[in-house]
Amino acid sequence: PLWHVCSRPPWLPTTVWLALAIWVCDMVVAVPQGAKLVLATHNKGKLAEFREILAQAIADFDPASVISAADLQVPEPVEDGISFAANATIKANALAQATGLPAVADDSGLCVDVLGGAPGIFSARWCGHHGDDAANLQLLLDQLSDVKDPHRGANFTCAAVLVVPQSADQKGRVVVEEHRMYGRLLHQSIGEGGFGYDPIFVPSQEDEPGGQGRTSAQMSAAEKNAISHRGQALRALAPQLAQLF
């Protein structure tokens, strides 16, 4: 916050204080009028999903009151945490500091039982570089090629974090919700929807009576969001978020 650098501590050299003041001012971004909450995403679909969750929990909810990191062109911080919760907290903290608004971020990945929970936080760069879904999926299939069906259990895990910066009107706080979607992994991809590892992941609900054995990639967005790890985590935050409106 700006007040941290408005007056120079006597032990801090003037040149360092000025450099710090300039750096903080550069980090603060202009926030649209009426905005009450910012979501750490550059994905329009995730923003729409988040607004829909809040609309179900908050009476007279105004979608424009929730904005995204993309709306503000805030650079993404380095995610060097060693857990989903740690990385989500890094992202939410960065946005809260830059905007002064309460911020929500999530981090998620696939955790495979026989791999001891890997790929985990490295899911998006399992092949060695970030964002190549096809290469990540193929590498995982190759690693599991000799694993029989009874041992192909896995879960998608999501940590959703709310960071409320301290102000004159409210105490600062951090709220963490972590949820999972359990299932099993196929030996080959099925389905054209979703992203990442969805084409080889069959949610446990699809193996229950009435299920169709579909992968996440064969489900509609609404069907997937109703049971997904991310949907569960964000809905669990909704009561805390409602207090901000």
Q: Would you please indicate which residues are annotated as catalytic (active-site) residues?
A: 107
H-helix or E-strand containing 234? helix 229-242
C-alpha torsion 55→157→102→81, nearest 10: -170
Q: Name the residue among 162, 161, 184 with its Cα closest to residue 110.
A: 184
Residue 206, CA atoms < 13 Å, CB-side half-sphere? 22
CA distances from 29 to 78, 94, 142 (A): 19, 12, 45
**CA separation for the pair 127, 119 (Å, rounded):** 10
Residue 91 · residue 163 · CB < 8 Å: no
Structure tokens at 113: 């039982």
Do the beta carbons of residue 77 and residue 115 sit within 8 Å? no
**Contact, 46 vs 224, CB < 8 A?**
no
Residues 18, 234: Cα–Cα separation, whole Å: 40
d(CA 67, CA 41): 9
